[in-house]
């Protein structure tokens, strides 16, 4: 394949250079590692075909394709013996000279050795699980192309994940955050509209920046959202979000710098170009500081808050699943753990004996016995 036609996403992933096994044990996530220009790695032809398949046929997001690419580069370096080899790790006995040949010759033993390497570098369970998911998808692709009959990961189990509840803002915190931008000028009105839409609809930040003018139906209060895999869904938005969008459009239309720009995107930066997800995060950080809220809150926290508040106020799980665009109901069920307090409150209010004093156990109040009278 001609490398001149490589997309920026794949090119960025190609520059990834994981640290070798002789460095410190502190794990560095693949997508956060700095590239080393003197050791740039390129995708093998098979890996490039796989990433093109994800991007062009499966319509995976740019971020997902980049993550898959960095994972496969690291795995390829391990197969070639460039990382992960040491006195305690026997060399891989794989036939073939090229990387693609080693990919095809890879077996379960090689995968387990790669997992041991990740474990020795203190990679988290979630990161390890993501890398395994990448390899499973890659070898599934190889099987579909007739290059393999059995995946080397067919007998490899994904490490059990630690159950972590998603963070959620309460209503007072949400109100502070939504009030922070104001709407006096173009950028503040835009930021307020973005935050209102994120909380009102529960859409992902990637879905927010991809919104186009044709996706808005403010009269009906509905957004058309393109989610993962380019799957479309309709999501309602509330009156406050609609009001914020209308205010933003009012100021934007009157701004001569943005008049007549050939763009269809809803949210633009100050130069009239599309916003990035990183820009939205920077804006959120700014308003978190202004509102005195935890700086660790992310745009996804608003999505978590949206789902939790719906369930707390009586929405059924299937409806929330559809609104969030989750393919599996089990993904949505995690939010039910956050509604326990609400369920307990409903029980206390509804059950006829919820507020009654505890019924004493017989052993706690033994009967009084009197000795028999002597005859």
136 a catalytic residue: no
271 a catalytic residue: no
Q: Are 209 and 298 in contact (CB under 8 A)?
A: no
Active-site position among 204, 226, 283, 304: 204
Active-site position among 243, 265, 300, 342: 300
Q: Are strands 232-236 and 222-226 parallel, antiparallel or unpaired?
A: antiparallel
Give Cβ neighbours of residue 258 (< 8 Å, ≥ 6 apart): 186, 252, 268, 272
Tokens of 196: 């209102």
103 a catalytic residue: no
Active-site position among 58, 176, 228, 281: 228
Q: Are 73 and 16 in contact (CB under 8 A)?
A: yes
Active-site position among 48, 121, 190, 303: 303
Number of C-beta neighbours around residue 68 at 10 A: 26
Tokens of 173: 């915190």
DSSP readout, 105-155?
H--HHHHHHHHHHHHHTT--HHHHHHHHHHHHHHHHHHHHTTS-SS-TTTT
326 a catalytic residue: yes
Active-site position among 125, 243, 326, 342: 326
204 a catalytic residue: yes
309 a catalytic residue: no
CA 28/CA 24 separation, integer angstroms = 10
The set of catalytic residues is: 204, 228, 300, 303, 326, 335
């Amino acid at each position: 394949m001609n490398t001149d036609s490589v997309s920026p996403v794949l090119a960025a992933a190609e520059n990834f250079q994981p640290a070798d096994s002789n460095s410190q044990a502190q794990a560095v996530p693949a997508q956060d590692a700095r590239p080393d220009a003197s050791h740039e790695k390129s995708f093998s032809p098979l890996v490039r075909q796989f990433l093109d398949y994800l991007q062009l046929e499966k319509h995976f997001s740019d971020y997902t394709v980049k993550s898959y690419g960095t994972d496969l580069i690291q795995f390829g370096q391990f197969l070639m013996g460039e990382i992960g080899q040491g006195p305690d790790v026997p060399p891989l006995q794989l036939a073939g000279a090229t990387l693609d040949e080693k990919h095809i010759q890879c077996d379960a033993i090689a995968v387990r050795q790669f997992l041991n390497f990740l474990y020795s570098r203190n990679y988290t369970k979630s990161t390890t699980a993501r890398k395994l998911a990448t390899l499973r998808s890659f070898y599934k692709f190889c099987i579909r192309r007739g290059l393999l009959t059995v995946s080397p990961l067919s007998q490899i189990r994904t490490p059990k994940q630690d159950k972590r509840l998603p963070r959620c803002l309460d209503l007072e915190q949400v109100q502070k955050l939504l009030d922070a931008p104001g709407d006096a000028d173009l950028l503040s009105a835009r930021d307020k509209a973005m935050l209102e839409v994120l909380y009102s609809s529960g859409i992902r930040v990637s879905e927010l920046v991809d919104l186009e003018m044709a996706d808005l139906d403010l009269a009906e209060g509905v957004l058309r959202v393109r989610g993962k895999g380019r799957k479309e869904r309709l999501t309602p938005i509330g009156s406050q979000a609609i009001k914020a969008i209308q205010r933003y459009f009012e100021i934007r239309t009157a701004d001569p710098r943005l008049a007549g720009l050939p763009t269809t995107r809803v949210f633009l930066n100050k130069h009239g170009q599309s916003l990035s997800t990183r820009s939205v995060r920077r804006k959120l950080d700014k308003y978190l500081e202004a509102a005195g809220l935890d700086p660790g809150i992310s745009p996804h926290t608003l999505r978590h808050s949206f789902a939790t508040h719906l369930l707390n106020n009586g929405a059924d799980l299937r409806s929330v699943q559809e609104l969030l665009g989750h393919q599996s109901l089990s993904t949505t069920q995690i939010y039910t753990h956050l509604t326990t307090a609400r369920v307990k409150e409903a029980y206390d209010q509804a059950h006829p004996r919820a507020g009654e004093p505890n019924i004493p156990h017989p052993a706690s109040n033994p009967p009084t016995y009197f000795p028999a009278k002597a005859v």
